[in-house]
Structure 1
Amino acid sequence: MKKVLYIGNNLNNKTSNLSGIQILGPLLENEGYVMHYASSKSNKLLRLLDMVWTTLRLFKRLDIVLIDTYSTQNFYYALVISQLCRFLNLDYIPILHGGNLASRLNSHPKWSHLIFDNSKCNVSPSLFLKEVFENAGFKNIIHIPNTIKIENYPFEHRNYDAPKLLWVRSFSKIYNPELAILLFKKLKDTYPKASLCMVGPDADGSLNTVKALAHQHHLTVKFTGKLEKKQWVSLSKDYNIFINTTNLDNMPLSVIEAMALGLPVVSTNVGGMPYLIENELDGLLVQPNHASGMCSAVISLFNNSEKRAQLIDNARKKVEKFDWIDIKSLWANALSSNKGGNLS
């Protein structure tokens, strides 16, 4: 079986949710792949050095390297490791996660071509980024969706006596958590018994800002901090609407999980979201940073039970196709195909 080095943010701390490396890696292990990982170092420079050292130390024993590729500072990890792999004549596959990678393609075209033109292939979890890369002239972009084990997400029938909103994400400016508070404030005018729970770690200090905004508007909001997946899945039974407030997104796993759990999703219409949710068919999409629009969407779900039930049912059927049973063959194909080969 192939020996794989997975490069990514293998962190386990209070300020980060599970990353791709922590989800896909164990699934590949269970399929018999020999997996190595880098890096769990919290300091970014030490993390990069650990990635480089691990690649150098193991390269003679490796068949391929997977590289989680983001659009922020972590983009440089992909740049360094991809070029090191080229020097070592080692195949690598970037996995395109960054919702703002389109900006990187424009701002750093030479570096982008160094990474993505020389890879074995480029894996995009979202059709949105696949289209972005292909429109920018990049070849060999294959679509492998973010995956879940559907058995871990029990489909629940919920009580819709009052809106009980659930938000699950890191508290970060790009995810616009303040919008959840502004939506909640407006919703209270129509549904005084509405509630809001916000789950996730504080990534950049936004949590204090959100708490202050809730206090300013005299709102009682439940903040749980970071929860393990089983914990928030269990908690989700007490809520009946999932809200996604982000200003920038790709294919968020938390939204896929909400769809699997039978939570109707109201999301901002940004980035890859319309490629995941078809408005009015399996969820509702509204303009970003628009509390009134999001509030109206939530209320519409309560005013039309038939429409709500159809959205929920369609969403569950859609994400059942993301089950690992169906996705693992796509990864097997990507990992085994020849460089530059046809992976469609």
Structure 2
Amino acid sequence: MDQSPDTVAWARRLRMRHLESFLVLNEAGTLTLAAERLHMTQSAVSHWLSEMEDLVGAKLVLRGKRMTLTAAGEAVRKLALRVLGEVSRTSDELVSLAKGDVARLHIGSVTAGVAHLIPRAIVAFQARHADVAFQVTEGTFNVLLSRLEEREYDLIVGSIDARAYGPHLEHEVLFADDIAIVVSPDHPLSRAAAVSWADLYQYAWVMPPRETLMRVRLDTTLLERGGAGIKPSIETGSVVVLESVVRGSTYIGVCSAAIARHLASLGLVTVLPIADVGSFGPVGAVWRRGGQNETMANFLALLRAEASAR
């Protein structure tokens, strides 16, 4: 949607110093401490804050023993993080290019994407574009999404749900994933002809963290299967921790089906044939609207190809 110049006039008058100082003020919590950090007098900081509020046309902080942000202040804080993060990233990229370094893509992913999709796509991409380096970071979708919006990541791979439909985001579904139950190849249940949900409840569990979508869906499944009282002995989003704990023990592990297939192909775990474990949901790529360049478009094409080949 087109915006008239008047609707963004306040943003045109904002300067980097305004945004930097506002983040310092928010972190400091008081005018006195902010003044010390900014090497200004308290009255100068107060004047600057009033000036910024006039520019934005809204009150940004509630003053008290410790200042708190208003809803408008929180919106400006997010803007500052996005703008300054992008400036910092661009500066780093320009310095790298000046030194003759390679271009870089920073990818954030939930474990389902790391299982096979991202590593294979990176290898295929670098076979064609050896001058592009990658940094890959795992995390929960909430954290990844927040850092994507703050310009820390170029692209994330995660669960496509309502959070991926943000006004500043674009996404593409790559594949649908399920939840899987895994055990050690030496686990008593790995040799059972049939396994029921009741068989699982006598063992300790390794589950995803409670704030993740997979955990929410797992808890619903357990409730429906008579396992409402089951509490995890370990909560982790790390594939390494999951595999290390499950292998050589009698723990029950929970992960995405993509991860389970990958670990099983290496002989590290056995996937139990439990019916109705539940769907993890669609997994896809999410990026900032307007943030897709030629390099990212080429990488997305390979992600799409690897997802179709799985």
Higher relative contact order (CA 8 A, sep 6+): 2
TM-score with structure 2 length normalisation? 0.31
TM-score with structure 1 length normalisation? 0.29
Q: Which has the higher strand share?
A: 2
